[in-house]
Each structure stands twice: as C-alpha cells, then as structure tokens.
Amino acid sequence: MADVQKLREKLGIHPDFPKKGINFLDIFPIFRDPILTELLISHLVTHIVTVTLANSPEKKIDAVVGLDARGFLLGPLLALRLGAGFVPVRKKGKLPGETVQVMYSKEYGTDEFAMQADFIAPGSNVIIVDDLIATGGSAQAAGELVKKLGGNTLEYIFIIGLNFLKDRWKLDAPVYCMIESDE
C-alpha cells in the first residue's frame, strides 16, 4: 500500500527520547502537510468503512473516542467523516461535569483516565483511536470507560503499532495498526 509507505517515510524518529534506549516515532511531520493529513485520514476512514463496519451487525458508528492527547488530532476528523460524535478521554480532573474514571498501568507507573458520563449512550457503537499502541494500558482503560457507560467498542485504531510489545491481547475488540514498527 503506497499510502502507508508514504506516511511511514514521513514519521520523525527521535533516538533516546523520552529516555535512553527508546526511539520515539513522531507523527507530527504528517500533520505539517495537509496532503499527508488527508492521506492519513482517508486511509483510516477507508479501513473503518470497509473492515470495521463490514464486521459490525449495526453497520454504524455512534462515537469516536480519542485518547489524550494525540487521539484528539485524529478523533474529530474521523468522527466528522463518519457522521459520528467525538468523545475525549482525558486525565482525571481535566473534564467538567460528572465523569467516570478508571485506573490503568503504564510503562512508568499508574494513571487515571476519565470520560464525561453522558457522552456515550448505552448500546452505542464506538471506535477508539490514538496515535500509537505500546503496552496497551491507555487503550484498555478507554475501553473500560466505554464499557462502564454501556457502549460497545467495535475496534481500536492506531497509526503505529509497536510489534515488540505484544500486549494487544488485553483489548476487548479487534486492533488495527496502520503502520507496524519494530523500533
């Protein structure tokens, strides 16, 4: 797929960031170019329409859940194209109104995610998006929030999947990674 290869070539690679031994894959160079941004969003929408929805009995997505913070770049654009709402997942204490929370483990300790309690109606079909899946802890937490509110996660969608971290089995729905990386 030429579009995926073109996007892969534009990823920034930052050795030893955020700590020694880690190669940080940076998606922001894609967003500096409107044509590449369109290519990225069109690829993800095509996947969602031809794969995710094809495997869903209801054939619709009610909400796109985006994880703090890079999921906020993808989520609204995908939601707009899909005719769905956008639901942000943020760190605890960053959202107004009544929220539901869940604790999760990450590479360097634990954290807590929150979602506004009235943003997902029971029975809603959602997809969860973020830039990258590493250990899967934050994506799993978002899935737990969706489940707490009675929603149904159809798929977890990422730009990048790190092949050397095989924790995708934790997730309760299929996973799509546009770019697989061994870095």
Catalytic residue flag (residue 107): yes
Q: CA-to-CA distance for 157 and 129, rounded, in angstroms?
A: 5
Closest by Cα among 71, 72, 132 to 107:
132
Catalytic residue, candidates 38, 58, 107, 112: 107
CB atoms within 10 A of CB 141: 24
Phi, psi values for residue 158, rounded to 5°: -135, 150
Residue 155, amino acid: E
Residue 147, amino acid: K
Catalytic residue flag (residue 70): yes
Catalytic residues: 70, 107
